[in-house]
Chain A
Amino acid sequence: MIEFERYKLKNGLTVILHHDPTTPMAVVNTLYDVGARDENEQKTGFAHLFEHLMFGGSINVGDFDQELQKAGGESNAFTSNDLTNYYEIIPANNIETALWLESDRMLSLAFTEKSLEVQRNVVIEEFKQRYLNQPYGDVWLELRPLAYQKHPYKWATIGKDIAHIENAVMQDVKDFFNKYYCPANAILCISGSFDTTEIKALVEKYYGAIPGGLKPARLLPLEPEQKNFREKSIDRDVPADAFYYAFKMSERKNIGYYLGDFLSDAIGKDQSSLLNISLKKEKGLVSEINAFITGSHDHGLFLISGKLSDGVDFETLDSALWEKLNEIKDSGFTERKLNSLKNKLSTAKAFQEQGLLNRSISLSLFELLGDANGINEEIEIYNQIENNDILKFAQSILKKENCSLLKINKSK
């Protein structure tokens, strides 16, 4: 059980305090309710570019990292299609430094041209390093627009085109900050060893006077229900043919998320998973096969991906895969398999929760979904899953008309 206290400042900032007296460290985690899905289609990649700019100096502090390092701390951040998250890990007795720095960049950034110019270049290099200069690196750039036609999930967090990043101007930066980076749109979670009264006073001191702003309404285009199978085939200079079956599934808050997570583990997480045993071990059709979900907050994707063994064609794989999926839709899993998945989830969760940073990020994510206490409830949700739930879920999503298939052909 992870204990926490939660309250709101007058300006609308949600604060979560998680006290852990056993660690000498503290974590200050700040989550902003803005991600790539909130971007303008003509200016994609911006939420992530902005994350870089948050380290380029705030209204009163020239060098964020330097001040943090002086206090023995370190910092990082990540952006997804759904949200942007920043954290500092710092010796607990210097927690005030992290609050000072993080609150100052919530108050206002320095908005220097130099920082924008450099970070544009850094992000372009990141784009190349992760998406362009890796075998199979551009899969998500191709798969997203195939699976989504209207919803902004159709572009990747990095953006759909490098040109969007190259063309970003200072006014875009300022508008983005003013709209999304306000207390009303943020969750602050402080974890570690601290005196609760003192920490509340510090939070009030640093954050209390920041104008609250308005939580922006999120009005995203709805993705229409998929009625037909979609397929795209591309040629790349890669050594093996690869396939990506993407099925639409429910949003994060729905029980379907947990069922999807569970089902994907069962059929394609590790060597004892169903598709591994059947398509790799028994039939030798693939050199690897995986199943996983995106876990997106709006309608997510359930993926089955892998690489063909030498000499195997897509059609053979396709019919063997559907045969196996149909079996699952008919009979589901044995009691033994369900129990072993539940046991593995319990072990994984126990290990994850050892880390203070993991706990801080999880508490913030669950709070964004509606209630930080979700962190204490999820294992029970998994434990209650029965074969019948899996069957119904599998039948509802593992359908050809609900599927988008991306094939990558090795070019000779």
Chain B
Amino acid sequence: MNRKTAPKTNKIGAVSFIAPEAHKLNKQTNLLWMGKVPNETTRIDLYFNAGLRNGKNATVSMTSSMLLSGTKSMQSTEIHSRLDDLGAFFDIGLSHEGVMISLYALKKNMLEAFKVLFDSIQNASFPEDEFEEIKAEKIQNFRINMNRVSVLAQRSFQQHIYHGTGYAELSEEIDFQSTQQNDLKTFHQKYYQKGLFKIAIVGALNENHIEVIKRLIEPHIISESLSFLDSFCNKPGAFHIEKKDAVQTAIRIGKTLFNKKHEDFLDMSILSTILGDYFGSRLMKNIREDKGYTYGIGTAIAETGGSGYFLIGSEVGSNHLKATLLEIQKEISTLQQEKVGSKELQLVKNHLLGQLLKMSDGPYAMMDLFLSVESYQMSTAFYNNYIERIHAIDAETIMQTAQKYLKWEEMSVISAG
């Protein structure tokens, strides 16, 4: 056997993207249901218009942390114990654009668990003792986080990226301290009791259960359509935050870009992959696998409701900061001046197709893919276009995309360490 030659590879299979059933709840709100699941698991995601953009960070974040901390008729411990009895668990995610609450349970327990969860969210009463407990917890977490170079860099990066807008607001310890119980109640009333803008269900529940869920959520659905800020422009330039005795320095480099509605989004995604979004990327090969300056370095395109940004992130040995920044600049200008070789381009294309296949494996993955286009009023046709674009894109286009969107002088370059 000749071990030196790679075995023949096959073309990566086609994906048929499946959209969930959409039940219209009102003009702008859908219940999405992926009912074909070959096992007993179920998940319900609830989306509320209760993100950071709608209030002071401390208020918004404390409210989301207190959603299951008691109602007039049920104490926090009882809510959690009831969910435990049903073997259910949940998590809560907070972003600028909204709050997502995911509930996980086996099919036989989901409806009951949902009733408990939804009731405690809608009727949250923000009891005094729970409020003080959350406040203390937030303050302590805040203090711990302020000792991390990655957090220091990320905070400053956020200020630079969202420069001049409400999104740039950062919380300080004093903000948690000065937040009042009533702030949470007012926020809750406005953005939870009348703020549900999407619900996504995965699981082989029966139709009756779906109907019951619809009736429960109906009074809490948002009535106006959402609109998002789309006029961001980052503040370019270098900025360093000193943290004494840090053995590593965190780096965040980026600029305002766009989300998947933009015509260049796919090309930019492919470019970002080449530069830093997989293990064999230019940055990983150079800065980790050749120089050993870091444990990891990567790029990403982050999307917001109306915009998005490009990001390069890493933590490097503090003595390697300068050299790393130079190498990053060098890799970017190489992409702007030299066409990507055909072997590398083919590799990246295969890698992306493999990733897409993986990302569409199973009903949960399908739902997540769907949700990530539905938020932008797009359909799964997006993914078919993506596959076509992966096949079609050439080295010349990638070089032009790098020239257009990766200008170093437009970047915010943040370091902390």
B205 within 8 A of A: no
| A69 & B291 in contact (Cβ 8 Å cutoff) | no
| B143 & A240 in contact (Cβ 8 Å cutoff) | yes
- CA–CA, A107 to B13, complex, Å? 31
Q: Give the interface size class of chain A.
A: 35 or more
A24 CB contacts on chain B under 8 angstroms:
13, 15, 357, 360-361
A75 CB contacts on chain B under 8 angstroms:
279
Nearest CB on B from A353, distance (A): 8
Minimum CB distance partner of A345 in chain B: B87
B76 CB contacts on chain A under 8 angstroms:
271, 281
Nearest CB on B from A232, distance (A): 21
Given contacts A277-B77, A347-B104, contact A129 B288 (CB under 8 A): no
Nearest CB on B from A59, distance (A): 8
| A281 & B351 in contact (Cβ 8 Å cutoff) | no
| A125 & B316 in contact (Cβ 8 Å cutoff) | yes
Nearest CB on A from B40, distance (A): 6
* A contacts with B: majority SS: helix
Return the contact of A350 from the options B40, B84, B295 (Cβ within 8 A). B40
| A281 & B133 in contact (Cβ 8 Å cutoff) | yes
Nearest CB on A from B296, distance (A): 8
A206 CB contacts on chain B under 8 angstroms:
1
| B85 & A65 in contact (Cβ 8 Å cutoff) | no
- CA–CA, A59 to B86, complex, Å? 53
Q: Mark contacts of A83-122 with chain B using CB atoms, 8 A cut-off: 1 yes-contact digit, 0 otherwise.
A: 0000001110110110010001001000000000111111
Nearest CB on A from B392, distance (A): 18
Q: Give the interface size class of chain B.
A: 35 or more
Task: Give the contact stretch, choosing among B3-11, B51-59, B373-381.
Answer: B3-11
Which B360-408 residues have a C-beta within 8 angstroms of A? 360-362, 364
| A100 & B247 in contact (Cβ 8 Å cutoff) | no
Q: Mark contacts of B1-45 with chain A using CB atoms, 8 A cut-off: 1 yes-contact digit, 0 otherwise.
A: 101101111111101000000000000000000000011110000
Minimum CB distance partner of A343 in chain B: B87
The residue among B6, B13, B77, B293 with the most chain A CB atoms within 10 A of its own CB is B6
Q: Mark contacts of B109-146 with chain A using CB atoms, 8 A cut-off: 1 yes-contact digit, 0 otherwise.
A: 10000000000000000000100010011001001101
A60 within 8 A of B: yes
> Could you tell me which B residues sit within 8 Å of A by CB distance?
1, 3-4, 6-13, 15, 38-41, 76-77, 80-81, 83-89, 104-106, 109, 129, 133, 136-137, 140, 143-144, 146-149, 245-248, 278-280, 288-295, 315-317, 346-348, 350-351, 353-355, 357-358, 360-362, 364
Q: A71-B6, A341-B84 are in contact. List 19 more A-B contacts (CB 8 A).
A: A24-B361, A69-B351, A70-B350, A70-B351, A71-B9, A72-B353, A72-B354, A73-B354, A74-B358, A91-B10, A91-B357, A125-B317, A130-B295, A238-B144, A270-B80, A340-B84, A343-B109, A346-B106, A347-B89
